[in-house]
Amino acid sequence: MGPRRNLPLAIGGAIVAAITLLALLAPWLAPYDPTAVNPGGRLAPPSAAHPLGTDALGRDVWTRVLHGGRVGLVVGVVAVVIGAGIGAPLGLVAGQFGGWVDLALMRLVDGLMAFPALLLAILTVAALGPGHIQAMGAIGVVLVPVFARVARGQALRLRDQEFTIAARALGATDARILGRHILPNTLGLLWIQATVAFSGAVLTEASLSYLGLGAQPPTPSWGWMLQEAREVLFVAPWLGIWPGVAIAAAVLGWNLLGDGIRDRLDPRR
Amino acid sequence: MRKFLIRRLLFTIPVSVAVVFLVFLSLHLTPGDPVMALLPPESVGTNQAERDELANALRKRLGLDQPFHIQLLRYFGNLARLDLGTSAVTRDPIGHELAPRYQATLELAVASMIIAVAIGVGVGILSATRPNTRLDAIATTLSLAGLSMPSFVLGLLLMLVFALQFGWLPPSGRPASAFSAEGFRYLILPAVTLGLQGAGLLVRLTRSQMLEVLREDYVRTARAKGMRERWVIYRHALRNAMIPIVTALGLQFGFLLSGAIVVESVFAFPGVGRYLVQSVLNRDFPAVQSSVLLVSLTFVAVNLLVDALYALLDPRIRYAA
């Protein structure tokens, strides 16, 4: 099989790279302070000084879009790490030990999966309180069952493979089999899952902050910027455009990237 | 068939118990003393002694002075009597507050489901029967855009165009049930927003399932014996492609319920989702728990329903179980 064109991978990768770069470099690229209020220049339409205009408090929208990306990126990364960090070990242990351990852990996972994702995140935020730190935990909780299922499936598949049986015959402990034989063979799948999970994490973060349950003002976040834009939609409709474009582009980029990676690894397509 | 349904019904019991348990547990996840987090905002200015007194009264009222297992049993007991508790803010029974909102959310969810299925399955079939044409490319691109566009962005866009620019539809609110002509107009924008988003996933799924099924031997046989293409597609291909699609509808309903939380906030639509968000912001924990429980158990019930439908569509499921 020769090299094939993988358009989703290329476009998704480019979008993700661009957004990540913009977010990382926000403090150097942004012309203003994201929280600096300017009562004299409120709701200014786009101009040379403010390429995307200013919001109801006179803050520069371009600056806030850049910094909002930074907040979203950090929340997403930490949430995926939390989800994978709790979910994967749970799944590996359930798959390796089987029996009642598996049954108990998987019923817990089923229970978590019985909640629509955003609902579970909101419930967690309700317990922890609103804020972008809490949002990381809330989105992480939502991702736990996803990673647990992937890891369990792989552990079950590998449990009866010859190299696992050989290791067991040599007297390796369960911990050693999991750590040395099963985990390394699960990492690839977990990486793919992390890419897919990230687009969901970005979307959930934006939804939470739109609802006022994520990053709290004055911390810039795309979701809350849209909420603020909604309040002044009649006078300043341009405020809603860029945070919306940013969220859609970020989610699209990660979706395409996930699709592309899956296509590349799936020989049937 | 009956055996399958009974097994499936029995399986929902542990899941529902797990859901109730997790919802119950969430209050105890609150860092520090949950009661302090529940104290009404007006207590912030008061002094320590007054606050303690308030906290103790609240603790007693919520039964939080009891040991954990007693609290848990009480929680299950109250639910069994359909007692959802009283709101910490309005002091009204939560059941009364939720009932009309639940109806509103169900109307929204069902309307958007109809839109999602009509557009999603329809466009998916069109796309799959004309693979790699311009129409197919447009459909798959738009469906990915639909999937990536958060409902609050799409909702604001539709509101801007259809309510503010053209003035065809009301921008927000819900004066009456959707079964009245006036109420129906208020349902359109939220339902279309949510439905279009749901359609994105269904287009992709229908397309890939149809493409797979259209490669099957029985489809080739049907064509070879001279059956009309339309008949091949609807009788042979679609029916088999529908099985995974129907399963996805259950999950889809979960997305819709999640999406409804956001869309209700965009359009100030007084449903369970908006009530939930308000309750979180008001730190009205009993109301939060009950709304989360109501929506999750609805989700569990819908998945049960979908599985029953699944067995109806595919005879193999009935016998295998």
Q: What is the pLDDT of residues B93-107, one digit of tens each?
A: 888 889 899 999 999
Percent of chain A whose pLDDT exceeds 70: 96
CB contact under 8 A, B261 and A226: no
Collect the ranges in chain B with pLDDT lower than 70.
Answer: 1, 31-34, 36-46, 178, 315-321
Q: In this predicted structure, which of A31-45, A113-127, B36-50 has the lowest mean pLDDT?
A: B36-50
Cα distance between residue A219 and residue A64, in whole Å = 9
Contacts of residue A227 in chain B, CB cutoff 8 Å?
152
* Minimum CA–CA partner of B251 in chain A: A116
Please tell me the number of Cα atoms within 13 Å of B11 on its side-chain side: 17
* Whether residue A55 has pLDDT greater than 80: no
**Residue-wise DSSP of B180-242:** SHHHHHHHHHHHHHHHHHHHHHHHHHHHHHHHHHHTSHHHHHHHHTT--HHHIIIIIIIHHHH
Cross-chain residue pair B26–A123, CB shorter than 8 Å: yes
pLDDT of residue A182: 86
Cα separation of the two ends of chain A: 12
CATH tag, B94-320: 1.10.3720.10
Residue bearing the bigger pLDDT, B27 or A77: A77
Q: Which residue is it, tokens 């007297």? A: A171
Give residue limits of the domains in chain A: 70-265
The CATH code belonging to domain A70-265 is 1.10.3720.10
Residue extents of the structural domains in chain B:
16-80, 94-320
Note whether B15 contacts A111, CB cutoff 8 Å. Answer: yes
Distance CA B59, CA B285 (A): 13
pLDDT tens by residue, A94-112: 988 888 999 888 888 888 8
Instruction: Determine whether the interchain pair A126/B299 forms a contact, defined as Cβ–Cβ distance below 8 Å.
Output: no
Q: Is A207 helix (H, G, I), strand (E, B) or coil?
A: helix
Q: What's the rounded Cα separation, in Å, for the pair A211 and B279? A: 12
Q: Please indicate whether, in this complex, the C-beta atoms of B164 and A237 are within 8 angstroms of each other.
A: yes
Contact yes or no for A251 and B164 at CB 8 A? no
Contacting B with CB below 8 Å, chain A residues are: 107-108, 110-112, 114-119, 122-130, 199, 203, 206-207, 210-213, 223, 226-227, 229-230, 233-234, 237, 240, 244, 247-249, 251-252, 255-256
Structure confidence by residue, pLDDT tens digits, B35-73: 766 666 566 666 777 777 777 877 777 777 777 788 888
Q: Nearest chain B Cα to A207, which residue? A: B262
Nearest to B288 among A126, A207, A212 (CB): A126
pLDDT at B219: 81
**pLDDT score recorded for residue B105:** 92
Can you give the pLDDT at residue A92? 92
Q: How far is B229 from chain A (nearest CA, A)?
A: 26
Which residue in chain A has the smallest CA separation from B283?
A126
Rounded CA-CA distance A129/A124 in Å is: 8
pLDDT value at residue B16: 85
pLDDT at A1: 39
Is there a contact between A119 and B152 if contact means CB atoms under 8 Å apart? no
pLDDT at position B71:
81
Asked whether residue A171 carries a pLDDT value surpassing 70, the answer given is yes
Q: Which of A202, A230, A239, A263 to probe by mutation at the B interface, max B CB count within 10 Å?
A: A230
Contacts of B26 in chain A (CB under 8 A): 123-124, 126-127
Instruction: Return the number of CB contacts < 8 Å for A and B.
Output: 139
Q: Which of A157-171, A195-209, B50-64, B206-220 has the lowest mean pLDDT?
A: B50-64
| Cβ-Cβ contacts under 8 Å, B22 against chain A | 111-112, 115
Spatial distance between the Cα atoms of B265 and B152, rounded to a whole number of angstroms:
9
Pair of tokens at residue A199: 């687009």
Q: Which helix (H) or strand (E) holds A258?
A: helix A241-265
Q: How far apart are CA B321 and CA B72, in angstroms?
A: 34
Chain B residues in contact with A126 by the CB 8 A cut-off are 26, 279-280, 285, 288, 292
Enumerate residues 6+ apart whose C-beta is below 8 A from B251: B303
Contacts of residue B225, defined as CB under 8 A and 6 or more positions apart, other chains included, come to none
pLDDT of B36: 67
Q: What does the CA dihedral A155, A160, A163, A167 come to, rounded to 10 degrees? A: 90
Residue B29 CA to residue A214 CA, distance in Å, equals 18
Residue in chain A nearest B143 by alpha carbon = A252
Give the H/E segment covering residue B63: none
Residues of A in contact with B167 (CB under 8 A): none
**Closest by Cα among B210, B253, B261 to B233:** B210
**pTM for the model:** 0.84
